[in-house]
Amino acid sequence: MRPATPTSRRAGITYLAIVYGAALGAAVAVAVTARGLGDWQSALLADLTATLVVFAASVAAGNTSVYDPFWSVAPLPLALWWGVLHDARTVRFGVAVALIAVWGVRLTANFLTGWRGLHHEDWRYTAYRRFGPLRYWTISLLGLQLMPTLVVFTAMLPVLAIARSPNTGFGAVDALAVTAAAAFITLEAIADRHKRLHRSDGFLARGVWAWCRHPNYLGEVGFWWSLYLLALGAAWANWWTVAGPAVITLLFVVVSVPLMDRRMLRRPGYAEHMRRVPALVPRPRRRADR
């Protein structure tokens, strides 16, 4: 694809702002109307409504990447909605919202920095266009948009549990959770910055990218486990929200990592890099690999 002009990039970002504003408005209207159904039920209906608005805009623009910011934009409104429903004023809930806001702003900014405009679609999506328009947009709706929406909604269950929990004080588990979340956000930011600066036909194997093949994915997975730990700080009875980070981990281990590795195998030396460097969890390097 040809590089975007400043005008086309600006027009694309403006389009996203309008689309996500409309999606938020539709979601709020649905959530308020359905609030009598329950906290997670009203939020889920609102989340799905927003997804359908973004999907319609994706079809109109002919670009599934219109959905990409949804992953990092949707969690904050979900958290705030649950905060309103449960009148959550605890320090723990405030910290959870702050962490989600910092994480979301950074991740969204990272996407916008690398996005060149409405003509720029992620390579993982363009591969499906060989199936033809009807099958492509069906895959886009069900697999590339609704599925991630449900994954992120599930990942937000610890935050719902925190909103429901009474104020039990901020303890050692909470402090550990906040420290871990900050560390994983920082790791993801460093990894994304190194990746953005490294533009070549090779692959990154230094800095945090020497620890594991996908440190940006490790940061993402670790962030959601940190929110789960914060939910445990509220009450050990919130253990059931482990479904959230577990689903996120499964998505990255089963889908994202193998997909990226298959793409990177086209680059010379990556097969050997895969042998030496773990995918997500860093390990002490063997002497033969040093």
Q: Quick one: how far is CA 116 from the chain centroid? A: 20
- Please indicate, yes or no, if residue 156 is contained in any of the structural domains: yes
Q: What dihedral do alpha carbons 81, 86, 92, 93 form, nearest 10°?
A: 10
Predicted local confidence at residue 288, as pLDDT: 47
130 backbone dihedrals φ, ψ, rounded to 5°: -65, -15
Per-residue CA distances from 15 to 54, 95, 144, 197 (Å): 11, 32, 20, 27
Q: Output the six-digit token pair for 100.
A: 């989600």
Question: What sign does the CA torsion over 264, 13, 31, 59 have?
Answer: negative
Decide if 97 is inside a domain. Answer: yes
List the pLDDT tens digit at each of the 290 positions of the chain.
444 555 688 999 999 999 999 999 999 999 999 999 999 999 999 999 999 999 999 999 999 999 999 999 999 999 999 999 999 999 999 999 999 999 999 999 999 998 999 999 999 999 899 999 999 999 999 999 999 999 999 999 999 999 999 988 899 999 999 999 999 999 999 999 998 888 776 788 889 999 999 999 999 999 999 999 999 999 999 999 999 999 999 999 999 999 999 999 999 999 999 999 999 999 876 554 55
pLDDT value, residue 284: 72
Extract the tokens encoding 62.
């002919």
Within-domain flag for 184: yes
Q: Is residue 1 part of a domain?
A: no
pLDDT of the residue at 84: 97
134 contact partners, CB below 8 Å, separation of at least 6: none
- 243, part of any domain: yes
Tell me whether residue 57 is in a domain: yes
Residue 155 lies in a domain: yes
> Directed axis angle between helix 91-114 and helix 215-234, to 10°?
160
Q: Is residue 173 part of a domain?
A: yes
Instruction: Give dist(CA 98, CA 209) in Å, integer.
Output: 28
pTM (2 d.p.)? 0.93
What is residue 289's predicted lDDT score, i.e. its pLDDT? 52
* H or E, element range at 81: helix 75-85
Return the pLDDT at 197: 86
**pLDDT value for 1:** 42
**Could you give the number of structural domains in the chain?**
1
Q: What is the DSSP string of 228-256?
A: HHHHHHH-GGGGGGGHHHHHHHHHIIIII
Q: Which domain holds residue 132?
A: 6-289
pLDDT value for 169: 86
Q: How confident is the model at residue 283, as a pLDDT?
A: 81
- In a 13 Å sphere around the CA of 18, the CA atoms on its Cβ side amount to 10
